[in-house]
Amino acid sequence: MEGKVIRGFGRGSRELGIPTANLPVDDNSTPWLADVKSGVYFGWASLRLPSSYPNQPPTKSSSSTTTVATGFSVYPMVHVLHDFEADFYGVEMRVLITGFIREMGGYAGVDELIEDIKVDCDVARKSLDREAWALRETGKGMLDGS
């Protein structure tokens, strides 16, 4: 998936403490999305940050991706497993999904949701550290456009 990060309602950071970047892709630009379950996935992400961006993160960064249906539309939302110094709205992001963690939903409340997302991040981090999920040449090419 790829696109320029767009603004949402800002709820990810404000209400959950877990920012999720919205990718403006839909079933037209990304046809396979129509056949994919809403859920939590993990994979690799790349961001084309401007050179003025503070403390550039390492070129490789893992991400836990969520495809969420809202009242209006379906946007993939991406939480990148890196502490950023600033927002990156408008920046070109590419995401390569490599694995599925769980389906969405079934929460008793916000606290349970936050707990689950923390577990998702751990699963994503541990999985991506393993050799089987390593970013190989094909994956790198998909992320940097080469």
Report the candidate in 79, 56, 94 with the shortest Cα–Cα distance to residue 8: 79
Q: Identify which of residues 3 and 12 has a Cβ nearer to ligand ADP in the complex.
A: 12
DSSP secondary structure code for residue 73 in this structure:
-
Q: Are 68 and 75 in contact (CB under 8 A)?
A: yes
Shortest separation between residue 108's beta carbon and ligand ADP, angstroms:
22
Q: Identify which of residues 87 and 92 has a Cβ nearer to ligand ADP in the complex.
A: 87
Shortest separation between residue 113's beta carbon and ligand ADP, angstroms:
14
**Residue at 23: amino acid letter:** L
Q: Which of 8, 39, 99, 139 binds Mg ion (CB under 5 A)?
A: 8
Q: Are 80 and 21 in contact (CB under 8 A)?
A: yes
Q: Identify which of residues 88 and 133 has a Cβ nearer to ligand ADP in the complex.
A: 88
Residues at the interface with Mg ion (CB under 5 A): 8, 12, 20
